[in-house]
Amino acid sequence: MPAQAGIQKYLTVLDSRLRGNDETTVVQSFLGSLDSVKWTTELRSGVAATSACKELALANDCCYDFPSPVRKETVIVTGSNHRRSTVKKLLIAVALLAGCAGTASEQAPVRISRPGPGPTQDELRNDGWNTDNVLTYGMGYHQHRYSRLKEINKSNVRRLVPVWNLSLSSNFGEQGQPLVYNGVMFVTNAEYTTAIEVATGKQIWRTPVGFDPAVPRVVCCGVSNKGPAIYNGKVFRATIDAHLVALDQKTGKEVWKQKVVEWKEGFSMTGAPQVANGVIITGISGAEFGIRGFIDGWDPETGKHLWRTYTIPGPGEKGHDTWPVGDAYLRGGASTWITGSYDPELDLAYWGTGNAGPWNPTVRPGDNLYTASVLAIRPKTGEIVWYFQFFPNEMYDLDANWEMIIADIPVNGVKRKVTMQLTRGGFLYVLDRTNGELLSAQPFEKINWASHVDMKTGRPVETEVSKRYRDGEQIELWPSQWGAKNWAHAAFNPETGLLYANTMHVSRLVRHRPVEYKPGQRYQGFENLPAPREPGLPMGHMDAIDPMTGKHKWRTPIMEIPNYSAMLATAGGLLFTGKQTGELIAVDIDTGKILWEFKTGSGINAQPITYTHKGRQYVTIQVGLGGVNAQRMVQQLTNVPRGGSVWTFALFDQ
């Protein structure tokens, strides 16, 4: 259908979308809904449309000026005092430009979406442009956890109220990130996969997982699930007993199910799958149980296993010589339980790896690749294109599983393609994501196990504290194995250039101990005791951090129980995150001041999202105390009830 023929259809939607929203939000949402418009590669990437197309738009009095280059996220309206009519004219111009540009014989058309089941690979790649949907883990392949929405902002966030709440019928705990597609929300926990009507909170279907009651004994740090993936009419999820399942989006019925590995050997799966270049990528948990970690690729249509890349190289593989002679590599750890990011242009997925096994380093001399590393892999084959090891011969459970945030940022005055991680060990690493070159590694928390990172070798320079530990002495470790930052994901705001994270300020008394491997049992060799704490010392912070320097723009102390919820940043000048005592909070992104909070029915250790529905902005969070900190701080959390649910919020209409 020509773009012009569909204009009136979309104008009907515009009046409702303009109410209470700024022009940028409306433009973004509208552009995402142009499902019949062919966007050329050149137009979508920002190259100006042809002169003929511009003249056509101007001849129709569509707008005062149409900027060059044309970008969906930066269209500006000027020369009019009538917001609604001007935006209408602008969008007519966009549709006309898209329509006529798509007729040029030298241009290859690309559709935003197509009829039939979805989302498509193009929709996944463009996650965030259509604000009605949240299609990927991290709210975009880049894992920024950032939204351009600003209907909810610093000036009105006090009017934020719950609009619906749905029980998830589980007491294990909620850590997931919901996904939203075409008005339906998909939510997972350890026990169920649930589809929910966004407008009302009504459950559409719920599919139980079903697993052996003995499985939790091989789960290190809380029975949980981080979320689903959606693609081509299916919902994909991992299970705690190490299966990958595909469900029909409309009915919740099982399409296929594949056993990944035997759980009785210490394996489990808690992470969200990733769909990259038409392949499902999954990781594995179990480094505390002496597993050999890996990353898998799967065919989304059939469930066929396409490839497996071991994160501990075997005989004949590059890196195997970093392990001692013998079979230590078979129990070397390097789990992959946090979903990676993906750069479609480079066709590289970036997955972090976990701690080495056992934690006692004396039984595995060497660098122990690819523990505590990031791997850049090809989705189609699992080929490791490059790697970077953050902590050779890792020995404190200071692994590198956390999210690899990708962005283009200035480095020494030059824009570089980077990937960033706030590591558990307290250093903020910035790497060139094309080749793994180390660009920066600065501390963002208190560290005593290393003095700095050598920029030539990329290796942390260990202190006398680490030497004493290697010699078998008890030490006070900063940060502890809790991490300077744990799994709770950071957000990156491309407008401020800052990272926002819940961090921790905790030490422990540790020493390594002898350990014997027994299948399905913990394989750590680590004594871990509380350390004396100075009165009034924060347990953690909410931080705004410069990626290249590690310095804080602001820090908000958290005194008693550290936050284990991910951060969400918005163009409304807000951060959303949660407390394990049950409060969802909105924070001023410029100062760290808490502007609003709402007490939910249980603890929050999950991942907030924001999106639009019929022109209105919503914020959603899964609620339900669980995870590793619910085990560590039982006494402090004893009066926080269990019970999973989904809470959704919007502005109260005055």
Concatenated DSSP letters for 586-631?
Answer: EEETTT--EEEEEE-SS---S--EEEEETTEEEEEEEE---SHHHH
239/228 Cα distance (integer angstroms): 10
Cα–Cα distances in angstroms (integers) from residue 420 to residues 79, 126, 430, 535, in the given order: 41, 21, 5, 34
Nearest to 36 by CA among 127, 119, 113: 113
462/464 Cα distance (integer angstroms): 7
- By the 8 A CB rule, do 576 and 493 touch? no
Q: Which of 132, 241, 367, 397 is catalytic?
A: 397
Q: Is 543 in the active site? A: no
49/43 Cα distance (integer angstroms): 6
Residue 350: which residues within 8 A CB-CB, separation 6 or more? 340, 341, 342, 343, 374, 375, 376, 404, 406, 419, 433
Residue 436: which residues within 8 A CB-CB, separation 6 or more? 374, 376, 386, 387, 388
- By the 8 A CB rule, do 622 and 565 touch? no
Nearest to 201 by CA among 185, 178, 225, 181: 185
Q: Which two tokens stand for residue 632?
A: 């560590």
132/180 Cα distance (integer angstroms): 8
544/591 Cα distance (integer angstroms): 9
Helix axes 83-101, 51-59, angle to 10 degrees: 140
Q: Which two tokens stand for residue 531?
A: 């350390």
Positions annotated as catalytic residues are 397
